[in-house]
Amino acid sequence: MTAAALATTAEGADPIVSVEGLTLRFGGVVSLAGVSLDHQRGEILAVIGPNGAGKTSLFNCLTGVYQPQAGHIRFRPAGRPPVELVGRRPNRVNRLGVARTFQTSRLFNALSAYENVRIGVESRQRTGPLGAMLRLPRTLGEERASRVRSEELLEFVGLTGRADEVASVLPYGDQRKLEIARALGTGPELLLLDEPAAGTNAGEKAALEALIRRVNQEMGVSVLLIEHDMRLVMSVADRVTVLNFGRVIASGTPAEVQHDEAVIEAYLGRTEPDPAGGDSGTAGPGNAGSGPGGAEDGPVGPGVGS
Amino acid sequence: MSAATVPASAGRGPAGWWAWARGVEGRRLVAWILSLLVLAVMTGPSGNNGSPTTGFTGSLLHPRVLVFVALGVAGWALSALRRSQGERLRRLNRSILALPQRAVADRRNRLLVYLVVLGVAIAYPLTLSGFWQQVLVDQIGIFVLLAMGLNVVVGYAGLLDLGYIAFYAIGAYSGAYWTGSLPVHPPFHLNPFWVIPLAIAAAMLAGLVLGAPTLRLRGDYLAIVTLGFGEIIQIAATNLQSVTGGAEGVSGIPHFSVHVGGLHYAWKLSNLPYYYLLLAFVVIALIAFHFLADSRVGRAFTAIREDEVAAEAVGINLLKYKVMAFAIGASTSGVAGLLSASKISFVSSEYFTVQLSILVLVLVIFGGMGSLPGAVAGAAFLQWVPQILRQHPLFGYQPQDLYIYLGALLVVMMIFRPEGMLPSRRRRRELALAERGIGTADAMSGSSDPAVGP
């Protein structure tokens, strides 16, 4: 994290993805109203905001699930020319190096944990139907490679012992880890995590937090994170962008964002219970205690970068 | 519970009996007997203009009706037993049904089982009569190949194809065309062996042409479009009489033959040589599809069947893989069509009915969707039963009633064993999950809901 923050200041801006004026409407409902943000290479960027603020819509635009009416998303993979993500199918976006997880995990439920990861790993390979049916030498080589890589990834997320278990019977926290492993299998440069900690207990949350940090540091993957758990956001994120009603209302280090008047008004709430703070069902994280809590704890303090 | 199911409990007056008969179990018994009486009428003699009531009197006022009533009571008793002893019976049932799976659990056993099955498949037909040898080729062999191909489409990729027989027709007509049997003549005549790649290519091309635009559709729409495609091919074949010979058909399609150096051999009308040729194709397809299922491509098919949104999110091109599955199934069907056209030396558009497409689908579902042994065993069994019934008509079985029984069998199967005869492990898991409300086991309707969250 420190490295990423330093790199940003030293070289100036080096965004891995830049979103410009993204607008998404469903009929008369405006989900995103001109969202712009830069995600610096190597950093963990958190997107927070009340329910319905457009966070998941932003993810779905980034991954090609939704096609925005206006705006650009420029993805800059390392060592390759930048590409426009708007207008590409989800599988193309994934191939370019943007992987994602889902708000409610969407694993291949009847398959084992190992098979789930392997499907992710294999999506980068080239064996076609003929190679598969005839077991050509290249196929065998690729099979070996994907087997090894899948096992590595399961070990990375700590699911080696559960490789042969059916995905749907895994505990919730393990399902989230498995989804991350599957996404990592596709070899992303940018990983989008949609509420990875939703529904997990305190222990699982701590493990996920460590995992996200390791994905970022050991694998060198930039992470874009949607999360309601403010403690997690404040401890893991390098920068935070706050959305409300489809607009960016604040952006900065966790510490800056936490003290931003607009953010407190719209999302975090004040330290003393303030009914006016919550506008549209700010469930869970909207309670007043979590904001300051995040600031106090901090082996990875939010102030390091500034 | 058990007291309620047994009507012969002591100390029950007439009023008690009446109450029992009006209760759930009594009504069930009546329903069982009535259904069997319907079956008695169905299987009994049919009336004619002279005596229109023969259909009823001949079946209901005849001693054979007692057999049906007894069967009804027996059926009710069995179902009552199943209800009262449900869990224990189910466990027993499961352990019996799991036997074949356990027998082939480890690798060496499995190879041994395969070799034994192959040995039987080679040696057994030698002992059969000419009639059964013909059944083995025309009814079983061809349909095993068809079922295996459709299994890739429906079972692996979860695409409901109701026009599958169209590709069979295309294979058959390719065979007729390239051997010069159609009214339109090819630039050069070929031995059926050389037509194999051409038939595969033609069927695959048809699969691509049909698949590329329609596979963007969701499951239900795909079924309708393929249904229409099957109809189009049949109607076109019927009406383009100057090209295809129409419903009267064309005959004289040459048999397979080899001429290598001094070796000359021709597959004549006889059944056994064709049987072995078919067996070779079935074995090749078995090995190829077995490898396919356990490969990158096969796993991508499974991923698409399980969750299209997630599959796309891990970089799987949905359209590409669906078209691929479609083309693999189509080419298998094309080969089957070519083999069958050359074997019976005749093609007519009348044969390629929707009903036949449905039949192949039934074979796959009955055997166990997504399971290779299932497709083979299901097709062999369901194609064998009508023939054995034709030989030994049970309860006055008439061939035209076949689909009534087939339908009933399928309904019973779907209730008691929805995963099919020899299900794949994945399919069984999917169904178990669906029972608990996780995911959709309905592989055929696809799961392409774009509900990725608000």
- Three-state DSSP state, B254: coil
Indicate if the pLDDT at residue A115 is higher than 80: yes
Note the pLDDT of residue B41: 81
| HSE value, Cβ hemisphere, 13 Å, CA-based, for A79 | 2
pLDDT at B413 over 60: yes
The whole-number pLDDT of residue A85 equals 95
Give pLDDT tens digits for A144-161.
999 999 999 999 999 999
Judged against a pLDDT cut of 50, whether residue A136 lies above it is answered with yes
* H-helix or E-strand spanning residue A242: strand A239-244
B8 alpha-carbon distance from chain centroid? 44
B212 pLDDT higher than 80: yes
Tell me which of B58 and B198 has the higher pLDDT. Answer: B198
Round to whole Å and give the CA distance between A176 and A107: 9
Q: Which of B295, B439, B453 sits opposite A103 (nearest CB)?
A: B453
State whether residue A65 sits within 8 Å of chain B by CB.
yes
Rg, chain B, Cα only: 25
Residue B372: name the closest of B297, B301, B292 by CA: B292
Residue among B306, B309, B314 minimizing CB distance to A182: B314
Give the one of B306, B328, B452 whose C-beta lies nearest to A108's C-beta: B306
What pLDDT is recorded for position B446? 39
**Phi (first) and psi of residue B439, to 5 degrees:** 70, 180
Closest CA to A263 of A290, A300, A225, A296: A290
Helix, strand, coil shares of chain A as percentages rounded to 5? 40, 20, 40
- Is pLDDT of B361 > 70? yes
Helices B318-344 and B142-150, interaxial angle, to 10°? 170
CA B135 to chain centroid, in Å, comes to 16
How many angstroms away from the CA of A178 is the closest CA of chain B? 13
Give the tens place of pLDDT for each residue, A247-273: 999 999 999 998 888 888 888 776 555
Q: Which CATH architecture has domain A1-97+190-202+216-306?
A: 3-Layer(aba) Sandwich (3.40)
Of B295, B306, B430, the CB nearest to A132: B295
Give percent above pLDDT 90 in chain B: 43
Residue among A232, A260, A246, A241 nearest A269 (CA): A260
- Please report residues of B whose CB lies closer than 8 A to that of A95: 315
Q: Average pLDDT over chain A, rounded to whole?
A: 85
Helices B165-178 and B354-367: angle between axes, nearest 10 degrees: 120
List the structure tokens of A207.
């493990």
| Confidence check: pLDDT of B65 > 70 | yes
Q: Which residue has the tokens 């498949």?
A: B121
Q: Where are the alpha helices (DSSP H) in A157-303?
A: 172-185, 202-218, 230-236, 254-258, 261-263, 290-296
Most confident of A32-46, B5-19, B82-96: A32-46
Provide the pLDDT for residue A5: 46
- DSSP 8-state secondary structure symbol assigned to residue A112: B
Q: Choose between B449 and B396: higher pLDDT.
A: B396
Instruction: Compute CA distances B333 → A131, B201, B313, B329, B393, whole Å.
Output: 21, 11, 32, 6, 32
Residue B197, CB-side half-sphere exposure with 13 Å CA sphere: 2
Identify the pLDDT of residue B50.
Answer: 77
Query: A200 in helix, strand or coil?
Result: coil
Kind and range of the H or E element at B215? none
Say if residue A280's pLDDT is above 50: no
The Cα–Cα gap between B304 and B194 comes to 35
pLDDT in tens, A50-86: 888 999 999 999 999 999 999 999 999 998 999 999 9
CATH of the domain spanning B139-424, picked from 1.20.272, 3.30.1460, 3.30.1360, 1.10.3470: 1.10.3470
pLDDT at A294: 36
Dihedral in degrees, nearest 10, Cα atoms A91, A53, A225, A150 = -30
Residue A276 — very low, low, confident or very high, per pLDDT cuts 50/70/90? Answer: very low
In tens, the pLDDT along A201-235 reads 899 999 999 999 999 999 999 999 999 888 899 99
Strand B346-347 versus strand B250-251 pairing type:
antiparallel
- Say yes or no for a CB contact (<8 Å) between A109 and B298: no
Distance from CA of B407 to the nearest CA of A (A): 29
- Sorted by where each begins, the domain ranges of chain A are 1-97+190-202+216-306, 107-187
Q: In terms of pLDDT, which residue wins out, B261 or B312? A: B312
Q: For A146, name the nearest residue in chain B, comparing CA atoms only.
A: B296
Please report, rounded to a whole number, the percentage of residues in chain B having pLDDT higher than 70: 90
Q: Give me the residue label for tokens 């610096």.
A: A40
pLDDT higher than threshold 70 for residue A288 = no
Quickly state the pLDDT bin for B258 (edges 50, 70, 90). Answer: confident
What's the mean pLDDT in B316-324? 94
Give the number of other Cβ atoms within 10 Å of residue B248's Cβ: 11
Window from B4-13, B36-45, B80-89, B324-333 with minimum mean pLDDT: B4-13
For A176-185, A282-291, B54-63, B275-284, which range has the lowest pLDDT when averaged over its residues? A282-291
Q: Are B313 and A90 inside 8 Å of each other by CB?
A: yes
For testing contact with chain B, the best of A62, A119, A153, A186 (most B CBs within 10 A): A119
Q: Residue B95 has what pLDDT? A: 74
B28-49 pLDDT, tens digit per residue, is 888 888 988 888 887 777 777 7
> Could B312 and A90 be called an inter-chain contact, meaning their C-beta atoms sit closer than 8 Å?
yes
Q: Which chain A residues are closer than 8 Å to B438 by Cβ?
A: 109, 168
Q: Is the pLDDT of residue A283 over 60?
A: no
Which pLDDT value is given to residue B11? 60
Asked if residue A301 has pLDDT above 60, the reply is no
Residues 6+ positions from A52 with CB-CB distance below 8 Å: A280, A281, B454
- Shortest CA gap A296–chain B (Å): 32
Question: Percent of chain A at pLDDT above 90?
Answer: 67
CB contact A124 to B (< 8 Å): yes
- For residue B160, give how far its alpha carbon lies from the nearest alpha carbon of chain A (Å): 20
pLDDT at B135: 92
**CA gap A84, A57 in Å, rounded:** 18
Q: Which amino acid is at A113?
A: A
Are A199 and A105 contacting, i.e. CB atoms less than 8 angstroms apart?
Answer: no
* Mean pLDDT value across residues B393-414: 80
Reference B196, options B338, B340, B328, B330; nearest CA is B338
Task: With cut-offs at 50, 70 and 90, classify the pLDDT of residue A300.
Answer: very low
Whether the ipTM is more than 0.90: the answer is no
Domain ranges of chain B: 2-87, 139-424
Radius of gyration over alpha carbons of chain A, in Å? 20
B454 lies within 8 A of chain A by CB: yes
Is pLDDT above 80 for B398? no
CA A104 centroid distance within chain: 13
Mean pLDDT of chain B: 84
Q: A268 near A305, Cβ under 8 Å?
A: no
